[in-house]
Amino acid sequence: MNDILYLGTRRYSSWSLRGWLAVRLAGLSVPEEVLPLGGALPGAIAAVSPSGLVPVLRHDGALIWDSLAIGEYCAERRPALWPGDRAARAHARSLSAEMHSGFRALRVAMPMNCGRTPAPLQAAPDAELQADLARMQQLWRETRDHFGEGGPFLFGAFTLADAAFAPVVSRFLSYAVPLEPVAARYRDAVRAHPLLEEWYAAAAAEPVEWLLSRYETVR
Ligand SMILES: N[C@@H](CCC(=O)N[C@@H](CS)C(=O)NCC(=O)O)C(=O)O
């Protein structure tokens, strides 16, 4: 089986962005194929993914079908994807795990859409969304305070914890979410990372046929 990284539509696929960042940060040289979300190619994702979801990485005889597992696979090859210090590494893994299993209100209310003209949601955030927004900024603030010396990212250098939050950065920009100063600086640092620039450019070049009204009409 040839090595390959399957991604969903870059404009929308937050989990694909996380997996892609891990692969690129690890320096794995694999071809990429985008399988558009929303059924434009019926059965295409199910044909390559045991879970029916993307991202999926086939590499050197291994098949990995979840972004968190792709991150761990990549970190085995490039340990610097996690912080070097044991306690910092444990903190970074906790952040990634909390992102993976939590923040449901944020994900539902603000789906990732890299091409959205920045505009706030019309409705004021409900209590659950407010709690997610506050928790996110608390995580970023506390981590920057404790571990952020030496660079603009959560642990100084860009790690898998930053990859986990990159789609949140995208959402905060797309939905013009007001942030406290520490979080705003962190958001801007992540967005300016060259890999984010590359992802956004590729997303902007995707065919209009891949646009999905359910994401384009979020107000
Ligand atoms: N826990 C999975 C979630 C993957 C996931 O939900 N992927 C979405 C795209 S972001 C998907 O494949 N959806 C299938 C579809 O919309 O057809 C991971 O971390 O990789």
Asked if 114 and 11 touch (Cβ cutoff 8 Å), the reply is yes
Atom 16 of ligand 1: nearest residue by CA position: 37
Q: Please give the tally of structural domains in the chain.
A: 2
Provide the token pair at 178. 């007001």
Same domain? For 74 and 84 the reply is: no
> Which tens digit of pLDDT belongs to each residue from 63-122?
999 999 999 999 999 999 999 999 999 999 999 999 999 999 999 999 999 999 999 999
Q: Whose Cα sits closest to atom 2 in ligand 1?
A: 66
Contact at 8 Å (CB) between 97 and 18? no
Ligand 1 atom at minimal distance to the Cα of residue 16? 10
Rounded to an integer, what distance in angstroms lies between the CA atom of residue 48 and that of residue 97?
25
Pairing of strands 4-8, 56-59: antiparallel
Question: What whole-number distance in Å separates Cα of residue 215 and Cα of residue 219?
Answer: 9
158 lines ligand 1 (CB under 6 A): no
Domain of residue 107, CATH code:
1.20.1050.10
Q: What is the pLDDT of residues 131-174, one digit of tens each?
A: 999 999 999 999 999 999 999 999 999 999 999 999 999 999 99
Residue 25 CA to residue 163 CA, distance in Å, equals 9
- Residue-wise pLDDT for 23-72, tens only, equals 999 999 999 999 999 988 889 999 999 999 999 999 999 999 999 999 99
Q: For residue 169, tell me if it sits in a domain.
A: yes
